[in-house]
């Protein structure tokens, strides 16, 4: 018996984006059989000649988690827990950065966001000390 999963795909708002910049994820829900690969589409539009594209994963009742970043002139960055089965390649000519998930697992059921600029930031805090 095959288990079907639904992956939800949403476009994230750009943080500090200009009016001519946007991200489009043409498919909102992707149904996939557990154990099979799938690809989530992300198309972007920007006048930036070296854009940074991000993928985030958000599971029910939790904050979005940074998955990976792809940019024009570097290898980008991938969070440790996503290095093995999650891959994306930035195609500046086609203005796309599809996310491929190998061997989809039940734990992959989530909402996936593609973003043109970072939308989740880490706030570092240190305990206050009296001098």
Q: Among 49, 51, 46, 6, which residue's Cα sits nearest to residue 24?
A: 46
Query: Which structural domains are found in the chain, ordered by start?
Result: 4-115 (2.60.40.10)
Measure the CA–CA gap between 107 and 105, rounded to whole angstroms.
5
Q: Which residues contact 51 (CB under 8 A, 6 or more apart)?
A: 44, 71, 72, 90, 92, 116
Name the residue with higher pLDDT: 19 or 111: 111
Name the residue with higher pLDDT: 19 or 9: 9
CA distances from 33 to 4, 26, 76, 94, 97 (A): 5, 20, 29, 28, 23
24-78 per-position pLDDT tens digit: 777 678 888 889 999 999 999 888 888 899 999 998 899 999 999 999 888 899 9
Name the residue with higher pLDDT: 16 or 130: 16
Q: Among 44, 39, 7, which residue's Cα sits nearest to residue 25?
A: 44
């Amino acid at each position: 018996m095959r288990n079907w999963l639904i992956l939800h795909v949403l476009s994230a708002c750009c943080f500090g984006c200009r009016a001519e910049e946007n991200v489009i994820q043409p498919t909102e829900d992707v149904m996939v059989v557990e154990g099979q690969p799938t690809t989530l589409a992300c198309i972007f539009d920007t006048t930036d000649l070296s854009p940074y594209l991000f993928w985030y994963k958000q599971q029910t009742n939790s904050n979005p988690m940074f998955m990976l970043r792809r940019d024009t002139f570097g290898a980008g960055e991938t969070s440790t827990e996503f290095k093995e089965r999650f891959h994306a390649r930035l195609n500046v000519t086609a203005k796309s950065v599809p996310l491929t998930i190998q061997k989809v697992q039940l734990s992959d059921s989530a909402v996936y966001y593609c973003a043109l600029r970072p939308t989740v930031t880490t706030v570092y805090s240190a305990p206050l000390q009296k001098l």
